[in-house]
A and B are shown apart, each in its own frame.
Chain A
Amino acid sequence: MPDATTTTMAPAVRPPALARLGGAVRWDTAVGVLLLTLLVCSFSFVDNFGNALNLSFLIGNTLPIALIALPMTLLVVSGEVDLSVGSTAGLSGAVMGALWNAGMTIEAIIPLCLLLGVVCGLINGLLVTRLGLPSLAVTIGTMAAYRGIAQIVLGSDSVTDFPTQYLDFGSGRIGDTFVPYAAVPFTVLLAVAVVVLHATPTGRSLFATGAGEEAARFSGIRVKRLKLSMFVTTGLISALTGVFWALHYASARYDNATGLELSVIAAVLLGGIDFDGGKGTLGGAVAGVLLLGTLQNVMSLTNVSAQSQIVVTGVLLVISVLAPRVGRQVSEARARRRTRAAVVPPSPRTS
């Protein structure tokens, strides 16, 4: 008898310890390590990677994605998604160009563009929360609608003659360092987002909503209001990104930031944010953004063709969603087998 209990106990004790070890290496940590490895390798082996100019290019090109990734992370954690971010950015850039052509001052235009972003986000949010529509369908619709409005507003013009000090802010860097001016406000926004998501009741509510909306509502979270505010924030930041985009590339066109939503979502998912909601960290999201950005920069420097870069992005995206789930399925199957093994032997004894 005692013999039998020890044999059933032994396998039951060991695997959980292993599983805990496996669980300790979280996906976002793994992405962070991957990013560090890539950075170290690039600094040591890739010519021209480490100079200040290239680094400022890297950061400048990655900033639009990183900016939108902040609210997108919060939104995906709460179980929704916004595909209209690229179009909102394009619309805000187009309106900026049109108003500038109409002779307004840029100090008046930028707040108007941000307000426009709030309105865009509000439309998405109201359609999702008040009508109960799936955010995917709504934002595919508004993605086309906003881009279409941008095209109507600006046509095929491109506006380039913005005031020099603003253009310098959009593309310049601080002194001789590699830090672009625009990285400073981004850092502030990043800090705000990290605090909101990981250290406030609002952040906890977002996780709770994403993990189980019904349960969150019954525990007193105002789910609809919360989601609406997240859509509005996403719209606002997208519009800000649109303004930055137009200044950074010194060109406001209706097709600015086309396809940006795909890069943002690819980066966010790569950073370990679960598409079903309720899981993820901002650290992971930022690591995902930087990993994709750095990879693209390195591939350009080493003369890998743009087409191959697309393939790499796609493969990374598929792996980033496939790997955690397959891992979970394998561990679940193992757990099932273990419980079956642990339960079956005693049963003949009791019956």
Chain B
Amino acid sequence: MTVTADPVRQQPAPPPDASRRLVDRVFKARELAVALVLVLILGATQLSNTEFLSEQGVKDLLLNATILVLVATGQAVVVITRNVDLSVGSVLGISAFAAGIHLRDGGSPLVAVLLAVGLGALFGVLNGALVSLGKVPALVVTLGTLYIVRGIDSIWVGSRQITADALPAGFVDFGHDGIWVLPYLALLATAVLAGVAYYLRSYHSGRDLYALGSSPEAARLAGIPVRARIMTAYVLCGALAGLAGALYLARFGNVDSATGNGYELTVVSAVVVGGVAFTGGSGTVYGAALGALLLTSINSVLPAIGVSSVWVTAINGFLLLLAIAADRILALRVAAALRKKAARTRSARHA
């Protein structure tokens, strides 16, 4: 009974491989599309305003994108597991202030950054615990923690604010300077991005996050420790939001109780525009980073070509709608193609 059954089952192995490749190709194309739009927009702007891509211009583009890229990377990890973290803006604000207070009192920059990251991770643990233990919709819980963290931040900060002259000069310089056109902050963000991408692509627990997002039930039945993985995603997201807070402090040198207010929507937009689907299980952090770069570039492009900045919000919204509609149509196409392929192999087997 155990020995005789197999030979017929060997044959259909290649087709899934081929379809797998098709899916892969489509999603690579998705990120290429964002990159292409980005290049087109930047190119067109450069044509109409030759100052735009000067050395300082490129540096500003990268600097503006850095913080959003970091937060979007963390958010992408959470969205891949079919959850969402709306509290990132509040966490960014409170960690930036914590780091600022530490620096103002003469602490070392490294400790300040670690403090911000730790505080972010702590709020990540809170979110992760609420989402995974309570099995409560992530949107609602993190909406609650958005309020709670913002409230705590406002009570703690009050009307105080941290300004650049209270910070050590080295820390502020770190926020502005760089190697040629590459700011240190952007290099740091790229390193973090590559690390997270490698984790998601090549580690067992990283793959689990995708499995969890594709089908939570199947993932549970396959023995994936669901709660631990959701916790990992939220802690990572919180820690990156904290790190982004510290970098925000370095970049702008100015933090008050409203820092990061409403940031969550920009972050979610960036992630979705970059091809990380709300329905979980697809997309990459590189895509999310590209989405972030695209959104912040539009912010710089509009003034450069003389369009009033009142258009920014509307354009971001339309981009988001366009991205999710395109994703949906793409997904339907892929599903149809896969079905056709499956039907063909089935009839071939019967012939």
Chain A residues engaging chain B, CB cutoff 8 angstroms: 127, 131-134, 136-138, 140-149, 151-152, 155, 262, 265-266, 269, 275-276, 305-315, 317-318, 321-322, 325-326, 329
A148 touching B317, Cβ below 8 Å = yes
Interface residues of B in 235-280 (CB under 8 A from A): 257, 265, 268-269, 272, 278-279
Given the interface pairs A265-B143, A275-B137, A322-B130, the reply to whether A314 lies near B151 with Cβ below 8 Å is yes
Q: A145-B317, A307-B151 are in contact. List 19 more A-B contacts (CB 8 A).
A: A138-B321, A140-B320, A141-B318, A142-B317, A143-B265, A144-B320, A145-B320, A148-B311, A265-B140, A269-B140, A276-B137, A307-B154, A310-B150, A311-B148, A313-B147, A313-B151, A318-B141, A321-B137, A325-B135
Q: B134 at the A/B interface (Cβ < 8 Å)?
A: yes
Q: State the Cβ distance, B65 to closest chain A Cβ, in Å.
A: 19
Let me know if A140 and B315 touch, CB within 8 A: no
Are B265 and A325 in contact, CB atoms less than 8 angstroms apart? no
A309 to chain B, nearest CB (A): 8
Which of B279, B310, B324 meets A151, CB within 8 Å?
Answer: B310
Q: Is the CB of A131 within 8 A of B325?
A: yes
Contact of A132 among B146, B269, B278, B328 (CB under 8 A): B328
Contact call A143/B317, Cβ cutoff below 8 A = yes
Give the shortest distance, in Å, between A122 (CB) and chain B (any CB).
14
Residue B305 interfacial (CB < 8 Å)? no
Give Cα A311 to B257, complex, Å.
14
Q: How far is the CA of A325 from the CA of B131 in the complex (A)?
A: 11
B139 contacts A by Cβ under 8 Å? yes
Distance, CA A317 to CA B146, complexed state (A): 11
Q: Say if the beta carbon of B179 comes within 8 Å of chain A.
A: no
| A311 partner, pick from B141, B155, B321, beta carbons under 8 A | B155
A3 to B62, CA, bound (A): 79
Looking at chain A's contact residues, is the secondary structure mostly helix, strand, loop, or mixed?
helix
Verify A141–B136 contact, CB threshold 8 A.
Answer: no
* Pairwise interchain contact A314-B321, C-beta atoms closer than 8 A: no
When distances are taken between beta carbons in the complex, the residues of chain B under 8 Å from A311 are 147-148, 151-152, 155
- Cβ of A138 and Cβ of B314 under 8 Å apart? no
- Are A141 and B321 neighbours in the complex by a CB distance under 8 Å? yes
In-complex Cβ contact of A148 among B140, B146, B151, B315 (8 A): B315
Contact pick for A144, options B141, B278, B279, B314, CB 8 Å: B314
Per CB-CB distance, the 5 closest pairs between chain A and chain B, nearest first, are: A148-B314, A314-B147, A145-B317, A144-B317, A311-B151
User: B313 on the interface (CB 8 Å rule)?
Assistant: yes
Q: Please pick, from A145, A149, A312, A317, the residue contacting B143 in the complex, using a CB distance under 8 A.
A: A317
**CB-CB contacts below 8 Å: B145-186 with A:** 145-152, 154-155
Nearest-neighbour CB distance to chain A for B77, whole angstroms, equals: 18
Inter-subunit contact B155/A307 (CB<8 Å) = yes
**Closest CB-CB distance, A19 to chain B, in whole Å?**
20
Write 27 A-B pairs (CB below 8 A) sorted by A numbering.
Answer: A131-B328, A132-B328, A133-B325, A134-B278, A137-B320, A141-B320, A145-B320, A147-B313, A147-B317, A148-B310, A148-B316, A148-B317, A149-B314, A152-B311, A262-B147, A269-B140, A275-B137, A275-B139, A276-B137, A306-B154, A307-B151, A314-B145, A314-B148, A314-B150, A315-B144, A318-B130, A318-B145
For chain B, the count of residues having a C-beta within 8 Å of the partner chain is 42
- Interface presence of B312 (CB below 8 A): yes
Name the contact of B139 in the complex, choosing from A132, A136, A314 (C-beta under 8 A). A136
Across the interface, do A127 and B143 meet the contact criterion of CB distance under 8 Å? no
Report chain A residues within 8 Å CB of B136: 321-322, 325
Residue of A155, A265, A307 with most chain B CB atoms under a 10 A cut-off = A307
Point out the residues of chain B lying under 8 angstroms from A321, CB to CB: 134, 136-137, 140-141, 144
| Residues of B bordering A, CB below 8 Å | 130, 134-137, 139-141, 143-152, 154-155, 257, 265, 268-269, 272, 278-279, 310-318, 320-321, 324-325, 328-329
- Nearest to A329 among chain B residues (CB) is B135
B295 vs chain A, min Cβ distance (A): 11
CB A275 to nearest CB in B, in angstroms, measures 5
B278 / chain A contacts, CB cutoff of 8 Å: 134, 136-137
Instruction: Give bound CA distance, A343 to B261, whole Å.
Output: 55
CA distance A152 to B318 in the complex (A): 14
Contact between A317 and B152, CB atoms less than 8 A apart: no
Tell me, in angstroms, the Cα distance from A155 to B134 when the chains sit together. 44
CB of A127 within 8 A of CB of B321, answer yes
Give the Cβ gap from B41 to chain A, nearest Cβ, in Å: 18
Task: List chain B residues, Cβ under 8 A from A325.
Answer: 134-136
Please give, as numbers and ranges, the residues of chain A lying within 8 Å of B149 by CB-CB distance: 314
Instruction: Tell me, in angstroms, the Cα distance from A291 to B324 when the chains sit together.
Output: 36
Which B residues lie within 8 Å of A138 (CB)? 321, 324
With A and B bound together, what is the CA distance between A275 and B151 in angstroms?
A: 24
Inter-chain contacts of B317 with A (CB < 8 A): 141-148
Answer whether A145 and B314 are a contact pair too, CB < 8 Å, given A140-B320, A308-B151.
Answer: yes
Bound Cα distance A142, B265 (Å): 12
Closest to A153 in B: B310
Q: Please, which residue of chain B has its CB at the minimum distance from the CB of A156?
A: B310
B329 to chain A, nearest CB (A): 8
A156 CB to nearest chain B CB (Å): 8
Q: Complex: how many Å from CA A21 to CA B233? A: 39
Complex contact A137–B313 (CB within 8 A): no
For B152, what are the chain A residues with a Cβ–Cβ distance below 8 Å? 311
The answer on a CB contact under 8 Å between A145 and B318 is: yes
Q: How far is the CA of A306 from the CA of B158 in the complex (A)?
A: 11
User: Could you tell me the distance in whole angstroms from the C-beta of A230 to the nearest C-beta in chain B?
Assistant: 19
Q: Which residues of A contact B272 (CB under 8 A)?
A: 137, 140
Identify which of A269, A317, A318, A325 gathers the most chain B CB atoms within 10 Å of its CB: A318
